Amino acid sequence: MDIQKTINDIRAWGENKGITGANAKGTPEAQLCKLQEEMNELENAWVECDDDEMIDAIGDCTVVLILLSELLNLHYESCVESAYNVIAKRKGAMVNGQFVKENART
């Protein structure tokens, strides 16, 4: 799978559907609501131990984030790279199953 091609296909799909692009009817607020909806679906899939639904929900969250970045005039790949550049240097520890950055622990 070529992930960059998939990301570009998602961008084209969003523009074709009128979510993003020159004639966009999508809004960041609507995409944030959609992201919450997809996160709720992910949580439900987790509770039900439904791997197929978790895969679908994680993918849907990713699609929404790509389209949201388009609406905000941000480059999705740059957002991911920026986040990785920060966490790559982060120090911290695992606390109750979650990585907690060093200056956030109490």
pLDDT digits (tens, 9 = 90+) for 26-58: 999 999 999 999 999 999 999 999 999 999 999
- pLDDT above 70 covers a percentage of the chain that reads 97
Residues 40, 38: Cα–Cα separation, whole Å: 5
The domains located in the chain, with CATH, are 3-104 (1.10.287.1080)
pLDDT value at position 105? 53
Burial class (CB in 10 A: 0-12, 13-18, 19+), 67: buried
Backbone angles phi and psi of 33, in degrees to 5: -65, -40
Residue 65 to residues 10, 30, 48, 69, Cα–Cα distance (Å): 10, 12, 24, 6
Write down the pTM of the prediction.
0.90
